[in-house]
Structure 1
Amino acid sequence: MNKNEIKLLEILINTKEVIKANELSLLLGVSTKSIRNYVSEINKIKKCIYSTNKGYTVDRELAVDLLHIEYSNDLPETKNERVSYMLMKLLKKSNASSINLQDFCDQLFISYETVKKDFIDVKEKLLDYNIFVRIEKDDIYVEGSEKQKRKMLSSLLCEEFTENVLSIDSISKIFPKINIPELADDIRENTKKHGFFINEYALVNLILELSIGMDRIMNNFIHISRHAPIKHPENSEVNLANELVNIVEKKYNIEYSESEFEEFSNTLISSLTKMDYLKIKMDDLSNLIDEEDMQLVNQLLDNMKAWDYFDLSNEGFIVKFALHIKNLRRRILRKYELKNPLTQNIKMSCPLIFEHAVELSNQIKQFTQSSISDHETAFLALHIGNMIRESNFINEQIKCVLLFPQYYDYSDKLVKSINAEFENEMVISYIVTNDEKIDWSKFDLLISTIPSNDLNCDIPKVQITPFLTRNDKLTISNEIEKINLSRKRDFLKNNLLKITDKNLFFKNKTMTSKKDIIYFICDEMRKNGCVDGSYVDEVLERENESSTAFGKIAIPHSFNMDAKKTNMFVFLSEKPIQWDENQVNIVLLFAVKHNERSIFFNVFDNLVVQLLEPTNLNLVMKSESITDFVDNFVKCLKSE
């Protein structure tokens, strides 16, 4: 199957409802005729896609089986796969040895012309790592430092596992000569013995780097360049590094040079945490973290205090966060990054948390004068996510009135039962025994044990038995869900109406360049008095830190929330726009006043999460005006 056929299957598997050919064509950026051809080709392999008058459905079990077969096919098919294959082969050659272009033709079953075209990308990617290509009569030589080759190998291997998480098991398949599970046990056992802890993310990263180094040494590729050493390593850290290297040298009959040892020990030390970190108090940090690290931690915490919905009173969080920043600065010093297998998942499913992490990454960049990768940003997001509080409109409990005619103390028992069942969602604020006059505007729900149709009540109401049966619980739960959905819709609609303008909506304007679109939108917002002329530079600066594309949508904005007016520009394009690695159909550019940041954060998170759903995106793409856009988006909100 080709790349688009695989994407088509993935979309059908992940879409709960029937989906039309024109909706699929929009998502894939191809014609409806191409969609029909893809379906036909897939069904020739295994009949799993069904066409109805409403659109396409899929037999998920058969489709998943088909994808598993496709994923397990080792022969590269797409251009990107072929480029990665060629890079891996070239990086395993010494500066003095070569591979012939014709060898790639034979190995990949492609023409000489295709290899030549693909090789343009190969050279560009090698240049990103300061590795150079020399071609003599179709013989290819790569010239570069061992350090840069290892760095590129690490990145390539991680890219291979963006879909299937990098793990101990997956590394074992890459390096069959190395007993990876045993290596992991040796590291865990010895770090614990020396009073340290290494989390699973850092462990997998360390094992990948260690395995690459071991494999290169086994094949006589020796690391000779030197790094800036870790500042003030503890004796126990150096002893641990020595012990682990001795274990590896004995088991695999290899020898670490001084620079190889330095490389490994720096990687190890920047991944360690004190085993007793749970016992560390705020007052202890000054003895564990140097003055510069603590200065950066305090600056980051000051920034976080300005965020809404975050709780910074947790001492345990601050200690763990400070220790993380200490190790992050160690990694920055030696230009090493931890690879995070959850990066894309966090970015797509928790966009608000990731956005806050990008803000911190930018602050760290200013402090260290070094860029922070999306992988490291995702680790910051994990820390932030542990202290996030839900926004007030979601967290606010439903206020309820209970109508229960007086009979002994049965009403008290019912109240206790209801409160115990729904303590986090609802509170019974008032109990009445008859149809006395009540100000219903103060309440959200009426629960009654008797018919209440005659009551002059304009809030939602449910009738239950006096015993709170299973059906009663379900009835109340369903009503709570409806009320919360209605609240969410009203909240988001009101906020969207505050920040949208009929003059800030364009559809199908002939533009395909990300930069051109940003310049155009910022100029339109300037004309409408939202921002000044420098805003476009601020948006591009934020864009350079980490792409603001999420699936088929992009939400560019500035770090500096100091616009003249808070507004959102809506740009829809049926023809996909290339936005870094994504192809987007919706661009939503925000300008935000400092005192209205909470509006941006509430709207931003919901827009991304909802518009990642293909059916929601297709509905919103039908909008012909800003009013349509708001109404269609609100329709996307469904019960969770």
Structure 2
Amino acid sequence: MLDSKYVEILNHLSSATSSIHATHLADALGKSVRTVKSYVKSINESYPGLIKASPYGYALNRERYKQIAINSVVAMPSTPDERLVYIIRSLIKKEHLNIVTIAYELHVSESTVRADLAQLKKRLDTYSLTMKVEKQTVVIQGLEKNKRRLLTSILYKESNQNFLNIESLQNNFDEYNIFKIRDIVVSTLNEAHYFVNDYALMNLILHIVVSISRIQHNNTYSDSETMDIISTNTEIQIAEKITQRISSYFQIQYSKEEVYELSLLILSSGSNINFNAVNELNIASYIDEGVLNLVDDLIKSINRYYYIDISENQFFFRFALHINNLLKRLQMGRSNKNPITMNIKQSCPLIYDCAVSVAHDISHRFNVQISDDEITYIAFHIGGALETQKSLGNKVSCIFIFPQYYDMNQNLYNHLTETFHDSLVVQNMVTDEFSIENFDVDLIITTQPLQTTPVLPVIVINPFKNERDTAQIYETIHRLKENKRRNTFKETISTMLSSQTFFLNDEPRNQQNVIDFLVSKAVDMGSVGEMFKQEIMDREAMSSTGFGKIAIPHSMRMNAEKTSMLVFISKHPIRWDTTDVNLVIMLTIAKDDRKVFADIFDPLSMMLTESVVIDQLLQATTVASFIEVLGYNFQ
């Protein structure tokens, strides 16, 4: 049995595309280099040749990895969370457990198991389940569908890293033919011309795997557990066909309540609408006017607070269809899982923040809670539109100096403007260098060496198009863009941060203490009003701003009196929701400076995913040194 700490390092290496140095691996796992080397040695002792070492770092022997089917090796639970999952899975499978037996199986004391059970009670509360303990026997009590929800969430978490990989799922659940289940679901949906995306499909498969397991152990729905929401004939017919085929293959029998429950999941996961056929004239026949008005309000809100214009028709149609399905799920108390939520939160912070704002508006209007996973699906829709707009607004201006010779200069001009249409704005084309004085541009591109030495970058290219010149122009454009962004970032941070908003702390604090302290300082400076603290708490309630060792609390409304940045560096870890942070950066953004948020939030959040950068920032003792670290590490 492999210890979970070894499985963690193997999972990290399996997702890498090249060798990883021990120091980088240590940073990623939160371990020392010595510990990482010790882990690698132990793994190779158990599975010789599994991890290869070279001057470039560690790499997984993928053929060996595949041969030993490491994904199917059960890890010995060693942390409280892992023991909790083990206990839950055992309880749901066996219905009752003996505390002495659990302690023996987990190699821990009975007192440790009882402490784990206290945490289990809290976990069960979120699924409307209860735990009964009589002497040494533990039993989970509650509705069957809630037990399945709990088990599905555990299975999802275990397969989360490779959620869309059907082979990985099969390795995790080798007692069932996952490929056969997928084929049954996909073929039935196709026959009905019903569309679900890949994420929703895997959610359906997980639901069916759990239902098969529970039915095989004589655990079925009762009449009182479901059929409280109206489904439609289409989804019911699909569910009936899927369960008939599953029943035939696995020799089980679905109850009518379970068929209906599956139909509700299908209803909330997909649609029989042909997306390409939806247009401005017929969308009202697919979606209620109230939902269309809501989506229109959401898009206007994004534009108002983030300066992002996503009013294009195709986006509106697809976003409206998604929100329509989301509202159905919320009505049913359901939430689709998303395997890349944490990745999106960290790698696309501005997009995710826009999605949080949208989710907050929906939550406020319908008095519902929206999970981080559902917020990530909203971010999927916003992301494409935002990236398109960013590329259009981030072009380099230039002037061409091409001496006229028949139509050669025009042909070259046409070639360059077509090749670099998404990154280059051509202010003018002139025939000699003395005509460029009146133009304010970033770059000069010429076919002949210049007699003067301009302060601007100059690229001398061949009159005939070639790959070397194209590559040189691409490289220069990229460098100029990065320099622009870096300079803008540093200048903006310098205006927001001062010695009055920079705090070093060596006393133990908690999340609420730090928020109260920073808000009071912002109020004293006249940056925000009294309502700002509640706006901060509303944002945290939607989705925590803490990740890694940092937190960036801010309002979703960006209506502060003044734009500022407050930095709080703590020697002692601060418990921030479910993570420990040492660096808190609170942002206050004035209405007229909302574009500032878009300019700094993405690069700032991206930098702060790097443990090396965070460590450097935590060593900063002055505003100047803090800004210097940010400027140096800008990406």
Pairwise TM-score range, normalised by the shorter structure: 0.7 to 0.9
SS at the partner of 1:503?
A: helix
Aligned residue identity for 2:314: G
Which of these residues, 618, 622, 639, is aligned with residue 615 of structure 2? 618
Name 1:274's counterpart in structure 2. Answer: 272
Which of these residues, 120, 123, 139, is aligned with residue 122 of structure 1? 120
In the alignment, is residue 535 of structure 1 matched against residue 532 of structure 2?
Answer: yes
Which of these residues, 315, 318, 326, is aligned with residue 317 of structure 1? 315
Structure 1 residue 501 displacement after superposition? 2.5
Structure 1 residue 523 displacement after superposition? 1.2
Distance (whole Å) between structure 1 residues aligned to residue 20 and residue 486 of structure 2: 22
SS at the partner of 1:186?
A: helix
- Contact 1:505–1:570 (8 Å) recurs in 2: yes
Distance (whole Å) between structure 2 residues aligned to residue 349 and residue 16 of structure 1: 22
Structure 1 residue 406 displacement after superposition? 4.7
Q: Per-residue displacement from partner, 1:205-228 (whole Å, max 9, x unpaired)? A: 112112212221221112123346
In the alignment, is residue 594 of structure 1 matched against residue 595 of structure 2?
Answer: no
Aligned residue identity for 2:211: G
- Contact 1:229–1:266 (8 Å) recurs in 2: no
Structure 1 residue 590 displacement after superposition? 1.2
- Contact 1:568–1:588 (8 Å) recurs in 2: yes
SS at the partner of 1:388?
A: helix
Structure 1 residue 556 displacement after superposition? 0.9
TM-score, scaled relative to structure 2: 0.88
SS at the partner of 2:281?
A: helix
- Structure 1: runs of 5+ lacking an equivalent: 52-56
Which of these residues, 351, 357, 360, is aligned with residue 358 of structure 2? 360
- Contact 1:337–1:373 (8 Å) recurs in 2: yes
1:236-251 equivalence runs, <5 A = 236-251=234-249
Distance (whole Å) between structure 2 residues aligned to residue 406 and residue 283 of structure 1: 51
Structure 1 residues 440, 73: CA separation in 2 closer, same or farther (over 3 Å shift)? farther
- Contact 2:397–2:442 (8 Å) recurs in 1: yes
- Contact 1:611–1:617 (8 Å) recurs in 2: yes
Distance (whole Å) between structure 2 residues aligned to residue 391 and residue 17 of structure 1: 35
1:116-515 equivalence runs, <5 A = 116-165=114-163, 167-173=165-171, 175-224=173-222, 225-227=224-226, 229-231=228-230, 233-308=231-306, 310-390=308-388, 395-436=393-434, 438-439=436-437, 442-452=440-450, 454-515=451-512
Structure 1 residue 200 displacement after superposition? 1.6
Distance (whole Å) between structure 1 residues aligned to residue 251 and residue 23 of structure 2: 61
Structure 1 residue 455 displacement after superposition? 0.9
Structure 1 residues 5, 234: CA separation in 2 closer, same or farther (over 3 Å shift)? closer
Structure 1 residues 575, 562: CA separation in 2 closer, same or farther (over 3 Å shift)? same
Of 337-346 and 462-471, more deviation after overlay is shown by: 462-471
Distance (whole Å) between structure 2 residues aligned to residue 390 and residue 200 of structure 1: 24
Name 1:54's counterpart in structure 2. Answer: none
Structure 1 residues 178, 438: CA separation in 2 closer, same or farther (over 3 Å shift)? closer
Aligned residue identity for 2:337: K
Structure 1 residues 405, 328: CA separation in 2 closer, same or farther (over 3 Å shift)? closer
Q: Per-residue displacement from partner, 1:112-142 (whole Å, max 9, x unpaired)? A: 3433333332232223323222223322222
- Contact 1:403–1:432 (8 Å) recurs in 2: yes
Name 1:78's counterpart in structure 2. Answer: 79
Structure 1 residue 296 displacement after superposition? 3.2
Aligned residue identity for 1:82: R
Q: Per-residue displacement from partner, 1:6-25 (whole Å, max 9, x unpaired)? A: 5799599799997879x968
Which of these residues, 518, 521, 545, is aligned with residue 521 of structure 1? 518
SS at the partner of 1:60?
A: strand
Structure 1 residues 249, 612: CA separation in 2 closer, same or farther (over 3 Å shift)? same
Distance (whole Å) between structure 2 residues aligned to residue 428 and residue 583 of structure 1: 49
Distance (whole Å) between structure 1 residues aligned to residue 531 and residue 445 of structure 2: 56
Q: Per-residue displacement from partner, 1:10-67 (whole Å, max 9, x unpaired)? A: 599799997879x968x8778xxx654554554465598999xxxxx86231598999
Name 2:104's counterpart in structure 1. Answer: 106
Name 1:87's counterpart in structure 2. Answer: 88
Aligned residue identity for 2:285: N
Distance (whole Å) between structure 2 residues aligned to residue 49 and residue 632 of structure 1: 35
Structure 1 residues 249, 567: CA separation in 2 closer, same or farther (over 3 Å shift)? same
- Contact 2:239–2:260 (8 Å) recurs in 1: no
SS at the partner of 2:145?
A: helix
SS at the partner of 2:160?
A: coil
Aligned residue identity for 2:265: T
Distance (whole Å) between structure 2 residues aligned to residue 44 and residue 147 of structure 1: 42
Aligned residue identity for 2:77: P
Aligned residue identity for 1:426: L
Of 292-301 and 548-557, more deviation after overlay is shown by: 292-301
In the alignment, is residue 563 of structure 1 matched against residue 560 of structure 2?
Answer: yes
Structure 1 residue 279 displacement after superposition? 0.5
- Contact 1:539–1:557 (8 Å) recurs in 2: yes
Structure 1 residue 355 displacement after superposition? 0.9
- Contact 2:508–2:573 (8 Å) recurs in 1: no
Distance (whole Å) between structure 2 residues aligned to residue 195 and residue 13 of structure 1: 38
Q: Per-residue displacement from partner, 1:388-437 (whole Å, max 9, x unpaired)? A: 24566973432223334454544333333333432322244334444425
Aligned residue identity for 1:579: W
Q: Per-residue displacement from partner, 1:559-599 (whole Å, max 9, x unpaired)? A: 23221212111122344333223232321111122232221
Aligned residue identity for 1:89: S
- Contact 1:415–1:428 (8 Å) recurs in 2: no
Aligned residue identity for 1:281: N
Of 588-597 and 570-579, more deviation after overlay is shown by: 570-579
Structure 1 residues 13, 440: CA separation in 2 closer, same or farther (over 3 Å shift)? farther
- Contact 1:230–1:330 (8 Å) recurs in 2: no
Distance (whole Å) between structure 1 residues aligned to residue 269 and residue 30 of structure 2: 42
Aligned residue identity for 2:398: C
SS at the partner of 1:466?
A: coil
Structure 1 residue 323 displacement after superposition? 1.9
Aligned residue identity for 1:92: K
TM-score, scaled relative to structure 1: 0.87
- Contact 1:620–1:632 (8 Å) recurs in 2: yes
Distance (whole Å) between structure 2 residues aligned to residue 130 and residue 598 of structure 1: 44
Structure 1 residues 318, 465: CA separation in 2 closer, same or farther (over 3 Å shift)? closer
Name 1:583's counterpart in structure 2. Answer: 580
- Contact 1:228–1:334 (8 Å) recurs in 2: no
In the alignment, is residue 550 of structure 1 matched against residue 547 of structure 2?
Answer: yes
Aligned residue identity for 1:551: G
Structure 1 residue 170 displacement after superposition? 4.1
SS at the partner of 2:282?
A: helix
Q: Per-residue displacement from partner, 1:605-624 (whole Å, max 9, x unpaired)? A: 11111221233333333322
Aligned residue identity for 1:526: V
Q: Per-residue displacement from partner, 1:487-526 (whole Å, max 9, x unpaired)? A: 1112212222232222111124423412211111111111
Distance (whole Å) between structure 2 residues aligned to residue 252 and residue 325 of structure 1: 36
- Contact 1:440–1:459 (8 Å) recurs in 2: no
Percentage of identical aligned residues: 30
SS at the partner of 2:225?
A: coil
- Contact 1:521–1:569 (8 Å) recurs in 2: yes
